[in-house]
Amino acid sequence: MENSSIEVHNLSVSYQNVPVLWDIDFTLPKGQIVGIIGPNGSGKSTLLKAIMGLIPLASGNVKVLNKNLSLVRDQLAYVPQRETVDWNFPASVEDVVLMGRYKKGNLFRRLTKIDKVIAQESIEKVKLEKYKGRQISQLSGGQQQRVFIARALAQGASIYIMDEPFVGVDMSTEKTILDLLIQMKEEGKTIIIVHHDIQTVSNYFDYIVMLNTRLIAHGPTNEVLTEENLQATYGGQLNIISKIQSIIKEKEFPLREKGFEDK
């Protein structure tokens, strides 16, 4: 499809002969903020890895911008889960963001002035210019998340894939990230996000994919985020999740970190 960003056809993934994703088939539009939602163990992060060609497929195929991934890999930028990163690695904010300017097969070229300007602009977009010389281990969790978003921005990709970017960040950082995503969408970028908070889905995403090993539903959020689809996706977990999140909001429990973020 001409207006598609990602096409997934009959995709199945197994680990040790146990299906993790089974016969997944959908097409995502360009220029949208897309949420991938489902319970723990439903295959959300596996789906991201399959789209990026990081794991073998049991069956099916993926197209990116109507082409095979190998031809357009540089158009995909990835923001991993924060806990999967070694934050003790001796690198500054600027060092990490500049990594986004290296292309596959050209890792040893010298960075140009243009590369450094793009990296600086990316740092400014995530509001970390005051911290560009700081070691990443000295940042708060929300600031660390923004560093990796800046690195993805520095790649100049068309499609941005993010695995739980809102986890462990305070409300200020969450708003900063969301405002940036909206700006990226307005520039024609496609953003695909694994997300866990069903209470914010309708506010954050234009389009959603509902997953639980199998594809439950996909489409514009206002059309597919129904009670029936939520029950099919989460089953008995739905009532528990909703109750816990309601209690958290009512009591204002400090699940997000405080005290480190910019004022």
pLDDT number for residue 199: 86
Give the phi and the psi of residue 39 in degrees, each rounded to 5: -70, 170
User: What confidence score (pLDDT) does residue 104 get?
Assistant: 52
Q: Is residue 90 part of a domain?
A: no
According to the model, what pLDDT value does residue 56 have?
A: 93
- Contact at 8 Å (CB) between 173 and 121? no
Residue 100 inside a domain? The answer is: no
User: Does 247 fall in a domain?
Assistant: yes
Per-residue pLDDT of the chain (263 residues; tens, 9 = 90+): 668 999 999 999 998 888 899 999 999 999 999 999 999 889 999 999 999 999 999 999 999 999 999 899 999 999 988 778 887 788 999 999 999 998 754 556 688 899 999 999 999 999 999 999 999 999 988 888 899 999 999 999 999 999 999 887 888 888 889 999 999 999 999 999 999 888 889 989 999 999 999 999 999 999 999 989 998 998 866 555 555 445 444 444 444 444 444 43
The whole-number pLDDT of residue 17 equals 83
- The answer to whether residues 160 and 189 touch, using CB atoms and an 8 Å cutoff, is yes
- Residue 137's nearest CA partner among 184, 92, 75 is 92
Q: How many domains does the chain have?
A: 1
Domain assignment present for 119: no
Position 255 scores a pLDDT of 43
Considering the domain boundaries, does residue 114 fall inside one? Answer: no
Please give the Cα distance from 45 to 33 (Å, whole number).
17
- Cα angle: 97, vertex 183, 146; to 5 degrees: 30
Write down the residue that tokens 């997953």 correspond to: 211
Looking at residue 229, what is its pLDDT? 92
Spatial CA neighbour of 52 closest among 68, 35, 36, 66: 68
Any idea what the CATH number is for the domain that residue 55 is in? 3.40.50.300
164 is in which domain, residue-wise?
A: 4-84+159-251
Three-class DSSP category at 31:
coil
Nearest C-alpha neighbor of 46 from the set 30, 62, 69, 28: 62
Structure tokens at 25: 């088939």
Q: What is the pTM of this model?
A: 0.85
